[in-house]
Amino acid sequence: METSLDEEVPSYYASGLNVVVSPWDITLRFSIREGDTPKDIRPVANVILSPQHAWILARLLRKQIDAYEQQVGKINLPPRLLNDLGVED
């Protein structure tokens, strides 16, 4: 009997992400906010990557986001959010 990977692998929605870096791996901690207090943040999944995989993932995401913006338009984010996260537009 053949099955699709999509049937076997759960999908999750996440509205939050923390990134934890060590010399050996990078952990992406996905969460969802279910209210207005820090207690209302529920962990959804942890994805642990080698630094090499994280490097490739970052570039692949950038490539896909660039293509998305070419088709749909620029993704606008508040400058304060970008500044708080320490990232540039």
The string of DSSP letters for 8-43 reads HS-----SEEEEEE-SS-EEEEEEEE-SSSGGGEEE
Percentage of the chain beyond pLDDT 70 is 92
The pLDDT of residue 62 = 95
Phi, psi of 43 (to 5 degrees): -60, 140
pLDDT score of 1 more than 60: no
The pLDDT of residue 8 = 82
Average of per-residue pLDDT values in the chain: 90
Q: What is the CA radius of gyration of the chain?
A: 16
Flag whether the pTM goes above 0.85.
no
pLDDT score of 85 more than 60: yes
pLDDT score of 89 more than 90: no
The residue extents of the domains of the chain are 1-49, 51-89
User: Which 3 state secondary structure label does DSSP give 59?
Assistant: helix
